């Protein structure tokens, strides 16, 4: 991205205040973050400068990446790969009665997530990686051949270099939070799709899923998800694949 495009992006997302902030950051290294007040959202959100935070904010809260119309109102939502909490906050406003479990493994992302969701008692932040068994995993950089970089592009491995964090299965999360079924799952887990779709028992009560597949990180992710999601109607919006159970409970 050119400098001009970068300034244009900050102006488009934050107005003149964004341009001033990115100019000050380039000149003086400060501010380290910008606080934004998205429309129709009651609390401001914190975004780190020169990271994927501003683009994630724009995609989710300004351009409606997850603004799918559902034929029901979810009561339980799992946000796996919650990043800095933009999707969880969007869901908290759209479905104020829903319990939202927001799981994020990367430590600095989780710190911002916890700050952003603090005003929302229905959002429960969890510092962990969703995996196929409980225990510990490592998070590190992806294969450089993918072209991915930054805090958003880490991959989770059972063994390897990088930070060691808690690994947790979706059934364990459901037990810990006293959840019997998941009405809506939003999943963006940077290539760990194969692991969590090995055990499909948690899909029994799932009504809807929004997922970003990472075939470029881990070949075979798309096949693993497609095999598990039989009986769901599939549609696509940008990089998000939407699955809706074809026969809904009354």
Q: Give residue limits of the domains in the chain.
A: 1-51, 65-245
Cβ 81 vs Cβ 49: under 8 Å: no
Tell whether omega for the bond before 111 is within 30 degrees of 0, i.e. cis. no
pLDDT of residue 65: 93
Prediction pTM value: 0.86
Among 29-38, 163-172, 212-221, 225-234, the range scoring the smallest mean pLDDT is 212-221
pLDDT of residue 163: 77
Q: Say if residue 48's pLDDT is above 50.
A: yes
Q: Write out the DSSP string of 161-182.
A: SSEEEEEE-HHHHHHHTT-S--
Instruction: Name which CATH class applies to 65-245.
Output: alpha beta
Separation CA 115–CA 146 (nearest Å): 31
Q: Which two tokens stand for residue 193?
A: 């799709």
Q: Say if residue 142's pLDDT is above 60.
A: no
pLDDT of residue 249: 56
C-alpha distances in Å from residue 246, one per residue of 42, 89, 224, 230, 238: 34, 27, 20, 10, 22
The mean pLDDT of 199-209, rounded to a whole number, is 91
């Amino acid at each position: 991205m050119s400098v001009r495009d970068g300034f244009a992006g900050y102006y488009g997302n934050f107005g003149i205040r964004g341009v001033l902030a990115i100019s000050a950051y380039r000149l003086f290294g400060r501010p380290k973050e910008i606080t934004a007040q998205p429309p129709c959202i009651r609390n401001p959100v914190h975004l780190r400068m020169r990271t994927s935070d501003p683009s994630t904010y724009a995609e989710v809260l300004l351009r409606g990446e997850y603004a799918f119309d559902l034929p029901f109102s979810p009561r339980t939502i799992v946000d796996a790969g919650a990043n800095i909490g933009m999707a969880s906050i969007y869901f908290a406003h759209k479905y104020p009665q829903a319990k939202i479990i927001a799981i994020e493994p990367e430590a600095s992302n989780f710190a911002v997530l916890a700050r952003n969701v603090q005003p929302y008692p229905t959002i429960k932040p969890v510092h962990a990686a969703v995996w196929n068994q409980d225990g510990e995993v490592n998070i590190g950089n992806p294969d450089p051949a993918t072209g991915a970089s930054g805090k958003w592009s880490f991959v989770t491995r059972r063994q390897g270099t990088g930070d060691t964090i808690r690994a947790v299965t979706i059934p364990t999360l459901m037990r810990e939070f006293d959840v019997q079924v998941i009405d809506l799952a939003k999943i963006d887990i940077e290539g760990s799709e194969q692991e969590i779709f090995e055990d499909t028992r948690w899909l029994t009560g799932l009504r809807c899923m929004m997922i970003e597949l990472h075939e470029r990180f881990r070949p075979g992710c798309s096949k693993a998800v497609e095999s598990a999601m039989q009986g769901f109607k599939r549609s696509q919006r940008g990089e998000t694949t939407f699955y809706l159970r074809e026969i809904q409970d009354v």
